[in-house]
Amino acid sequence: MGQMRAGALLIVAALMAATGAAVQAQGPPKTLRIAVGIDADTLDPAGQTTTTVANMVDYVYETLVRADYAAGKVAPQLATSWTVSRDGLTYLFRLREGVTFQDGTPFDAEAVKFTFDRLLDLKTRVPLRFLVDAIKEVQVLDASTVRFQLSKPSPTFLSNLTYTTTAIISPVAAQKIGAANLVRDATGAGTGPYAFKEWVRGTHILVTRSPSYWGKAPVFDEVMFRVVPDAGTRETMLLAGDVHMVMLPPAPDVRRLRQNPTVTLVQAPTDRVIFIGLNTQWGPLRDTRVRQAFNYAINKRAILNSVLFDLGTVVDSPCPAGMFGHGPVQAGGWPFNPIKAKQLLVEAGYPNGFEINFFTPTGRYIQDFQFAQAVAAQLRNVGIRASVSTMEWPSYVAEITAPPDRTRLQMFVLGWAWVVLDCDGVLFGQFHSSQHPPRGLAPAFYANTQVDTWLDEARTTVDVEKRKTLYRDAQEQIWNDAPWIFLWAQNWYVATVKNLEGVSITPIEKWDAIYATWK
Amino acid sequence: MRAPLGRYVLRRVLYALPTLLGVTLAVFLLVRLIPGDPGRIIAGLLASDEEVQRLRIELGLDRPLPEQYVRFLAGVLSGDFGLSAVTRTPVIVEIGIRMRATMMLAVTSTAIAVAAGVSAGVLAATYHNTAVDYSVMVVALGGVSVPVFWLGIMLMLLFAVHLHWLPAGGIGTPAHLVLPALTLAAFSTAIVARMTRGSLLETLGLDFVRTARAKGMGEWTVIIRHALRNALIPVITVVGLQFGTLLGGAVLTETTFAWPGLGRLLVSAITARDYPVIQGIVIVFAAMFVVVNLVTDLLYVTIDPRIRYE
């Protein structure tokens, strides 16, 4: 009896020792598990539309050049150096030698030509084709030299080549997989640090470390992206230890996660500017003073702090900080001054305010529906009675793409982000009169011929200083015309287990965890 | 007996055809009635107008509606539901991948619901108006009332975060199945328990039960062998309906537990305006309901020989 008890104790002790040892001797897990909010729509670089999907594709495929966000410039990747002709129409790239695709075939000039010819082929689905539409022809000079001939000068061309859409595909792998199947199969097709292994629809995407990678080898043998659509579930899975990193846990939990000793919250500002568009062709909003009054009426800092848990930075210009050409118009953002707002409304002939409808999506941007209600409450203080309504995203898109004679928009929440860090994306996309719906997506219907001229010139000249001046003028003019209530640039964030280190967030809403380490 | 059964099944299947045809037309029109242009949704906000138009042409959305419908119907009749507008994968493949997960969850939670629900119902009826009865009914009331996403999160917090016994979400091992199946079974179990109790109480008051008791049979034999069998017909109806609903409607549970089932696929297809996938899933759901109803009706006969095929 006594012996039995001793034996049982021994077993228990051994078990405890074993589990204790397991806890202590945790080396890096073989598979790094990351919970993402959406399943991929396509693995084909050419078909990319969403940064989170592009983020996963980046593990497998690489572009000629990459964005060095810290230095604010374009850095070498598959191309080691490049020269640009004086007229900005010819780009000559020297390619990195000794690089092979994961299928073992060499990366060379032919692969580059194959990739870009495919992007320019109208039969290929390329939603972001504007990134490459300046290219007239790609010529192979020798195995490691490629020349791009442009049809028009494009100041953002080099930056455009940093985006996943233009990542280089192995012609041999593409042939083997079948061009149409690149959507769901990337076996051996990229040069990236990880090779594609499997994609189980709605469940996960698995990549394994590529033994032939030309650059520094990452720590983890495999990376698994698990599809977890619910933000609360992602957070729970992190806390339960099912995954090591999650994108965007629920915003209201961010403060609590920051205090959790087992979790690291990684966040950074991005280029996504959140604004309330004012339909400049609707009723009272045709008057600039009314639109300025709307800006004075809103305490952005207070809303950012109490409703968005400080997950953003108030903007000081229509183009957020960190973009090429950004020039602060008003330090600290548009001042909060309800007295001035009321005064402007009186001047414009609305001493008793007016009623306005206010559309917002729900769950598209951080706390969107919630902050819209805070904005409506503050507008009420100056006599503007805004009624907030929301709808699911595709219906919302139908609203914001309606032509001016049919639009129901009066004021509306929208977030705008571009894939390269240049003011052209937001300024041309949102304020050039050619971009009014249904042609484009500038539903404030802002029109100013002077601004149009500046923006046209800025996207065709390659003179860096001149572009800066043009953008500075445009930002100032737009700010004063106030076709938006200028709010904030949104942060992007992930939460990781404490052991995972070296994860960062890029300004285009991607995480960078390829060289993450385990402690 | 055998000949009527075959003819009966055949007739039921034939009756279902106009229903399914109606479903194809309804779903085809409904997806096109809700606002939102698939070209723009799939290409994204940053895509140029030209790319959006190109996508519309690729998806055949530039064709007149009657032509689109005829093409779609012809495809369905030959077993081809088309390609997903988003992933360009055959819709039938997309559905097939999710069907396994959905079946696994629906079958498991229905099994739990039947086992637990019938047992609880029998206990409650047997000990009618005692503490046992009241406890079962209170728990059942809770099961019917509690929202699945809340129950799901609570189970997750307890079993995954605090106790570390089970994974919080996802699919893979049998352990992954436990929490979503329990969550999903809560409502059905409660319904089945209430239905069993009510039906059994009614039966226990009938003459043949008194006869059985008078013959001197043990109380449990009377309840299980005689009364329960007669009380099961409405229970089977409820289980059949519940199972049909679980096959198609477990969206919340699937989302909460990151379970890759058909419900979630349907929701993501709707938010992407992926017409072919929406159409395919709705037709599959309709067909499954037809089958489940047929099986339920056939089960009646097995349970109660007095019921005959007409």
Q: What is the DSSP string of B162-225?
A: IS--S-SS-SSSHHHHHHHHHHHHHHHHHHHHHHHHHHHHHHHTSHHHHHHHHTT--HHHIIII
Residue A422 has pLDDT above 80, yes or no: yes
CATH no. for A45-176: 3.90.76.10
pLDDT 10s digits, A202-235: 999 999 999 999 999 999 999 999 999 999 999 9
Q: Which two tokens stand for residue A466?
A: 């001149």
- Tokens at B167, concatenated: 């994974």
Question: Residue A23 has what pLDDT?
Answer: 41
**Where is pLDDT greater, at A436 or B300?**
A436
**Residues of chain A with C-beta less than 8 angstroms from the C-beta of B169:** 228, 233, 236-237, 242
pLDDT at A485: 98
Q: Does A359 touch chain B (CB under 8 A)?
A: no
Residue A43 near residue A186, CB atoms below 8 Å: yes
Please list, in sequence order, all residues whose beta carbon lies within 8 angstroms of the beta carbon of residue A297, skipping any fewer than 6 positions away. Answer: A336, A338, A341, A378, A379, A381, A382, A384
Q: Once rounded to an integer, what is the mean pLDDT over residues A6-20?
A: 41
Confirm or reject contact between B163 and chain A (CB < 8 A): no
What angle (nearest 5°) sits at the alpha carbon of residue B252, between those of residues B246 and B253?
Answer: 65
Residue A237, amino acid: M
B117 in contact with A, Cβ within 8 Å: no
Q: What is the pLDDT of residues A76-96, one digit of tens each?
A: 999 999 999 999 999 999 999
Residue B3 has what pLDDT?
A: 55
Most A-contacting residue of B91, B148, B161 (CB-CB within 10 A), to test interface: B161
Q: Kindly give, in sequence order, each residue whose CB lies less than 8 Å from that of residue A291, ignoring residues fewer than 6 positions away.
A: A278, A280, A285, A481, A482, A483
First to last CA, chain A: 45
Gap from B81 CA to chain A (nearest CA, Å)? 18
Distance from CA of A289 to the nearest CA of B (A): 30
Q: Are B35 and A395 in contact (CB under 8 A)?
A: yes
Q: How many CA atoms lie within 13 A of A377 on its CB side?
A: 11
A357: helix, strand or coil: strand
Q: Lowest-pLDDT range, A169-183, B120-134, B241-255?
A: B241-255
The SS3 call for residue A319 is: coil
Residue A391 forms beta bridges with which residues?
A361
Q: Give the DSSP H/E element, type plus range, for residue A355.
A: strand A355-361
In this prediction, residues A8-35 reach a mean pLDDT of 58
Q: Do A397 and B36 touch (CB under 8 A)?
A: yes
Helix and strand numbers (H, E) in chain A are 15, 21
Task: Report yes or no: A262 at the B interface, CB cutoff 8 Å.
Answer: no
Q: What is the CATH topology of the domain spanning A269-492?
A: Dipeptide-binding Protein; domain 3 (3.10.105)
Domain boundaries, chain A: 45-176, 269-492
- Report the residue from B47, B50, B257 with minimal CB separation from A233: B257
Q: How far is A139 from chain B (nearest CA, A)?
A: 25
Give the count of alpha carbons within 13 A of A224, CB side only.
16
Catalogue the long-range contacts made by A25-29 (C-beta closer than 8 Å, 24 or more residues apart). A26/A499, A27/A518, A28/A219, A28/A220, A28/A517, A28/A518, A29/A220, A29/A244, A29/A518
Give the count of alpha carbons within 13 A of B305, CB side only: 1
| 8 Å CB contact of B43 and A49 | yes
Size of interface A-B (CB pairs under 8 A): 144
Q: Report the residue count for chain B.
A: 310
Confidence band for A15, pLDDT divided at 50, 70 and 90: very low
* CA neighbor of B240 nearest in space, from B294, B305, B284: B294
Q: Helical H runs in B250-274?
A: 251-256, 262-271
Contact check, Cβ <8 Å, B168/A229: no
Provide the 3-class DSSP secondary structure of residue A356.
Answer: strand
Residues 219-238 of A with CB under 8 A from B: 226-230, 232-233, 236-237
Using the predicted structure, report yes or no on whether residue A66 has a pLDDT greater than 60.
Answer: yes
Cα(B36)–Cα(A251) distance, integer angstroms: 28
* Nearest CA among A28, A34, A130, A158 for reference residue A421: A158
A203/B170 Cβ within 8 A? yes
* B218 vs B55 pLDDT, higher one: B55
Q: What is the pLDDT of residues A343-396, one digit of tens each?
A: 999 999 999 999 999 999 999 999 999 999 999 999 999 999 999 999 999 999
State the nearest Cα–Cα gap between B219 and chain A, in angstroms: 45
Over residues A475-507, the pLDDT tens digits come to: 999 999 999 999 999 999 999 999 999 999 999
pLDDT at B230: 82
Asked if B88 contacts A180 with a C-beta cutoff of 8 angstroms, the reply is: yes
Phi, psi angle pair for A497, to nearest 5° = -70, 155
Q: How far is B169 from chain A (nearest CA, A)?
A: 7
**Of B88, B97, B164, Cβ closest to residue A201:** B97
Cα nearest neighbour of B161 on chain A: A240
Q: Which amino acid is at A406?
A: R
Q: What is the distance between the alpha carbons of residues B171 and B261, in angstroms, rounded to a whole number?
A: 10
Residues from chain B that touch A401, judged by Cβ atoms under 8 A, are 37, 40
Please give the C-alpha separations between residue A122 and each of A46, A55, A450, B91, B148, in angstroms, as whole numbers: 11, 25, 34, 25, 47
Residue A54 contacts B, CB cutoff 8 Å: no
The candidate with the shortest Cα–Cα distance to B83, out of A205, A477, A42, is A42
The number of residues in chain A equals 519
Q: State chain A's maximal CA–CA distance in angstroms.
A: 97
Residue A245 pLDDT greater than 60, yes or no:
yes
CA gap A294, A379 in Å, rounded:
7
**Chain A nearest-CA residue for B166:** A240
Q: How confident is the model at residue A11 (pLDDT cuts 50, 70, 90)?
A: very low
ipTM: 0.86
